[in-house]
Chains A and B, each alone.
Chain A
Amino acid sequence: MRSFLTLAFALSTALRLAAQDVGARLDGRVPPEVQRAVQDIAAGAAAHGLPTEPLVQKAIEGGAKRVPAERLIAAVRALAGRLADATDAVRAGGLTSPAAEVVEGGADGLSAGLTPGQVSDLVRVSRAPYDPALVLRVAATLAALGVPATQTVQLMEGMISAGRTPGDLLALPGDVQAGVVGGATPAQAAAGLARAAGGSPPGRTPGWVPPGQTNPHKPSPNPHKP
């Protein structure tokens, strides 16, 4: 009984210190009522083993942008909810003690329209050298750019099974965007990348040109071109 009380006291002290730390970091960056609210939200998140850093960062971002207090608190609370959902999804994908970056990547994915099941699937295929945090963040960005969620997951899985490097995954959103600038829809651009991933050896896709783009290997006649 005594050891249980000691443990409970230690836990509550740790949570109180964490909440104080959150409050100190927000000092002067957000209005006092936002500071208090975020402190409470972060304490609740920490009690459930969720990362609090994304909450602090979102509050700081909102404070810098002078977002009205109500809206800022609502955004931070919504993020805390997504972090909780993402933690469950990541655990369902096989990571019993996920790192904060992985949970944050999962929350980004949910925010962009991926389902918890799709987050779990992406975690499941992310074995070394693929960092699940990186895979989830890239997938979240692709979905946010307008690539349909199912296609996003298929593209990521295809790249991983084709043995593409983590750097290639990180470059995917840029490749999709290049296709969009050239007139393709995000889905069409992603489909082109998926075809290239399936048909070429690992590494950068040799000679593949996103829809609507000119060949990047063509020598530039202009030496000032960046």
Chain B
Amino acid sequence: MSLGYHPLVKQLLDGELSLAELPLELRAEGAEALRLVGSVDRTPVVLSPALDDRVMAVVRRHAASRTRRAWHWVTAPRDVELRLRLRPVVWAAALAIAAGVALLLLARAPAVTPVPAAPVASGARDSVFVRFVLYAPGARHVALAGTFNQWDLNAAPLARAGSSGVWTTTLALPVGQHQYAFVVDGERWVADPAAPAIDDGFGRRNSMVAVTIRGARTL
């Protein structure tokens, strides 16, 4: 799993390191990152001069609609002034009656027990989008299998990013810890080089990712 590059490659992108200062095994990734960043299209976006006219035409059409105007008249909030002229004894009595009714309702309501705050792990409905990236230049097909998709090799294929050798996919994962691995060409199981791995019980390694409501972290 990766939300970006190796920390040293990030330093390279920041200009804190040079390519030559990277460890040998990271130079290819560093060079690729520089190439990708360098190829970003920075051409300013120029809007068509006719855009303003087209937008205003649509606005005018909406404003001219009688149905819309009627609906707006019915639903728009308005200031309403309500004046009451009452003797103090009358509104004091009204307040007393309202308080009595409230007390009566509270007495009939069932007792409320304080509920402890729900733990984070049980908030499985909270999902976070996590981006997975693998640099596999020679691969014909890359998929992601893990505890979140029952290790299904067909559930989460990665898409090739041009001819760069970078494969990527983004998945919505529930909050919690997840184990996973990349499957290259349907048969080679590869742990994420950018994430720590633990023993899978079969003599191989599973990568790990922690998803919190603040985002995802490679463990």
Contact = CB atoms under 8 A, between A and B. Distances in A.
Contact of B5 (A79, A171, A226): A226
Contact of A129 (B4, B5, B116, B153): B116
B219 A174 contact: yes
A220 B82 CA distance: 57
A166 B116 contact: no
B161 to A, nearest CB: 14
Nearest to B211: A170
Given A64-B153, A173-B208, A145 B198 contact: yes
B196 A177 contact: yes
B interface, size bucket? 35 or more
Given A167-B120, A170-B210, A214 B219 contact: no
Contacts of A224: 13, 37, 40
Contacts, number: 125
Interface string B177-203: 100000000010100000110111111
Contacts of B210: 141, 170-171, 173-174
DSSP majority for the A interface?
A: helix
27 contacts: A57-B151, A60-B151, A61-B202, A62-B201, A65-B204, A66-B187, A71-B203, A79-B201, A112-B198, A129-B116, A129-B117, A129-B118, A131-B119, A134-B119, A134-B176, A141-B198, A166-B120, A167-B120, A170-B176, A170-B210, A173-B219, A174-B210, A180-B196, A214-B16, A222-B13, A225-B10, A226-B4
Interface of B: 3-5, 7, 10-11, 13-16, 37, 40, 116-122, 145, 147, 150-153, 175-177, 187, 189, 195-196, 198-204, 208, 210, 212-214, 217-219
